[in-house]
Structure 1
Amino acid sequence: MKILAIDDQKLVLIPLEIRLKELGYEVVTETNALTGIALFSSFQPDLVIVDLNMPIVSGMEVVKHIRNIKKSTTPIMILSGNTDDSMIIQGFDLGINDYMKKPLSLLEVCARVKRLIGAPEAKNKDINYKGVIIQQRCVGVVIPCYNEEKRLLSNQFTNFIEKNSGYHLCFVNDGSKDKTLEVLNNLRKGREEFITVYNCEKNGGKGEAVRQGMLHMAKKEDLDYIGFLDADLSTDLSDFDDLVSTIENSDYKIVSGSRISRMGANINKESAREIISLTINFIIRKILSMDFKDTQCGAKIFKKDVIEISFGEKFVTQWIFDVEIFRRITLHFGLKKAKQILCEKPLKRWVHTDGSKLSMKDSVKIIGQLGQIAWFYNKKKQIKKD
């Protein structure tokens, strides 16, 4: 039994292809709708699975080609994030056999495939798909790593991408002196479609590592959003996914996690570090003219159209590049617009992890770097006015 699956986002197709092949189906996938249309004639599938929202040629055009031009009765299943009732009705009027809205369970997809075309004789009849989700968006996550050989929680990263389709992790090795690069390359083996290792030979600091990773991931056309996350997972991946859901269902262009604004949440932090952080944050709010409670949380997600604005140029400072990102946004869009497109999302959980790179002495130095930011971007603002 043959299945043709067409979706412009490869990250969505990969887990679907793997699971269906394990069940015994012969599966061909395609990210280009025009090529998919050509494959329909040559491959002659028993079932077509297609997404609606694709560039150039939509999934509905694929349906029209099969039903109106080819006059074929081959079963068609639509998997789409499009919840427009008129589109759903149009699909059924054209003769589709099933319509499933993303995000959805892979277990349900497989069950509906079996209902439509039956189940082949497979060796792997007892495969467990429970908990695997096909998302309606694809997300790139940059994780900067410096000497993380002993702290990297590899299993948490791999378990997450196995359960959540649509995520591509980019680990940036920031000139580590230990075996971090070796650990990352081993982590990537067998997961090349979901994990990238970007190697910086020299240590440039967290800000530069994040910047390089964000610009690298921005080149991937199938990603809808790109963000960054600390390697120690002080903000875990499920909380990061909440940030993604916020930006996905809003007009925000940047959503930043906040460790402070969630009262009563599970936020654990050393008291001395907390006092210094609150002092620094007061200064930051004055520089940005915005009531941000926590600019320095290492979990942020961006729409692709602000990546170049935020990361195109090197940062002035080493540690508080987050402040520079927000300052760049206010310079580009103006303060009023910036307040509308920036969102601070309270985290449900955040735990300070032992082994963080910033010492108490470093924290004090940040105040001097804030002065650098204020001077540099005020000068830039003046040049822009002139």
Structure 2
Amino acid sequence: MRPKSIAVIIVAAGKGERASLDGSIDPKQYRPVGGKPVLARTVQAFLDLPFVTSVTAVIHADHADRYAALGFSNERLLAPVIGGTSRQASVLEGLKALAPQRPDLVLIQDAARPFAPPQVIGDVVEALERFEGALPTLRVIDTIKRSLDGRQVAATEDREQLFAAQTPQGFRFGQIFSAHMRASTIRRQFTDDAEIAEWAGLRVAMVAGHVDSFKITRPEDFARAERIFGGDIAMETRVGTGFDVHPFEPGDGVWLGGVKIPHDKKLKGHSDADVALHALTDAILGAIGEGDIGVHFPPSDMQWRGMASTVFLKHAGKLVNEAGGRIVNLDVTIVCEAPRIAVHVPAMREVIGAALGIATFRIAVKATTSEQLGFTGREEGIVAMASASVEMPRGD
């Protein structure tokens, strides 16, 4: 269950001078990628997520007209806040502006990271159920050398212990606000919000980041961003299908699409027998060539007995993310005579979207009957069929 309120602060108060070495007069956050300003893409990425309560951009005092020109009209996008003289000071200004609302959680995002995948954002939010802070990271793959003078190697670092930090970095609002207020009273500049949380004694978790969620810093980064947006980085669309069936047994309700629906029976299975989520999970796994649900969660393994099927769905989504892909859309059809499904469809879409970190407009849930024919017509069980469309890097 996600918290009731999740606020997002997008830090856009810098001048972006390093990305303007090619002669551009526009700060990097207002320069276009694929015909749309970077900041506009970053803001829209969070507005597309149904679990985000509000989005606040922290901007430079000289950029009010540029920001207004983005032309946003969304009740969840709050008035921009003028930032400070450093990133740390700008984040504090954003936190102060949110203080009257007291959101449960806050996500702090660099404006110059327009490609943060929904799955990564969702993973950060989920980690905050157990930790006070969380951030996406990438394992460092290059050998890292330490030097005291920039000319001679002094030591080689153990890269197995090194991770590159990304955003959004998420926190429980009251705790990070308090930590930032304390940090503002000392003569030290912290490199990111996670470091402030660590300094304040908060537990900070790491979740898997994504290679495309890089920070646009120099002119050449715009060429990379254009390739990502344009889809000419050897991406391809793959389609997977899933099919599952479970019989009824005596009970008090069925789990379908992550929602428990009152009924005089339940579905029989090793886990919670959520036939809709099983079909969806198989469809996603099929699209990325990763077998089926039984390969990853064998019914012979007792640890999965009674397990919520959202666990299986999240695992499939994580595999897509780790492979550098993204889920484009999902479609599931549930076949049964009873219980009635239609009234529960919005809740199912919300659960599926939250589990995978994707917007609900990418999810279709439909229900039909078999006109009283066959075992579903005799109300002996439920069938679900699903398809998944996934964009993945080409393997060749």
TM range (shorter): 0.3 to 0.5
Tell me the TM-score normalised to structure 1 length: 0.41
Tell me the TM-score normalised to structure 2 length: 0.40
